[in-house]
Amino acid sequence: QKTAYEIPKRDWSSDVCSSDLVSSVTQAGRTLTQSVQPSVSLTNAIPRGLLDIEVTAARLGLSGSAQDRDDVDATNIEVRKDLDRLVTTTSSDDASNTAALSLQKSYITWFDSTIAPVVAAETLTARRDARQLQTSPAGIANAQAVRDDLNTETASVLQWRSDITDTTTQAFDVLTVVLAFALVVLLAVVLLVRWGLRRWVTTPLLALAEDLRTVTDDDLNHRVAERGPAEIAQIGRAHV
């Protein structure tokens, strides 16, 4: 059975008479609502968490505020949860999932090597040393790696959404054509059956009724015509 992401690679003409078409539309819609849209929301939320951590950590490095320390810890927990969810929601798309795993790894490296020392610093000297780690080549490189991975993940997820949306639209278009064709065929069958009933049943019955009415009116010499199916013709013969 096809997955939603494989639909664009298939020849639709082979599916027009198959339940696979409906299954593909359903799967594409399910993937869009259960995986793609949550992934897009997460890629929008994670950058805000990263910015909050950077700003609060910078303030913490100067003030040593316990509130700032708690805020960094809380935001870090939320970002890690979002990254875990992102890895899960992108599991059905290789490119997005690979980028999510890379982003998760680079974030952990960046936080543990650059932000965690600021949070753990208890003295002014320790906070100064931690700030130097943030501005060191290694700290800058780690921060840039997170940004690069975030950009890659965002692009991958948006491309995934575009592909699934196009797939769903294409599937609905094909399904609409199939249903329209089925309705035309059904209408043709109904008209054909109606014509057949009129030609072979209704018209002979009306003619027989007219003949019998004539005989009933004492025209005993009137010949009842034998027309229509055998059963109706037999009734006509019985009154000849």
Q: Which of 3, 1, 12, 11 is nearest to 32 (CA)?
A: 3
Q: Which of 2, 31, 10, 8 is nearest to 167 (CA)?
A: 8
Q: Residue range 80-109: average pLDDT?
A: 94
Crossing angle of helices 203-216 and 230-238, in 10° steps, is 10
In whole angstroms, give the CA distance from residue 198 to residue 189: 14
Angle in degrees, CA 75, 81, 82, rounded to 5 = 90
- The string of pLDDT tens digits covering residues 201-231 is 777 777 767 766 776 666 656 566 666 566 5
pTM comes to 0.64
* Burial of residue 185, with CB atoms counted within 10 A of its CB: 0-12 exposed, 13-18 middle, 19 or more buried: exposed
Instruction: Work out the percent of the chain whose per-residue pLDDT is above 70.
Output: 78
User: Are the CB atoms for 53 and 115 separated by under 8 Å?
Assistant: yes
Instruction: Work out the percent of the chain whose per-residue pLDDT is above 90.
Output: 39
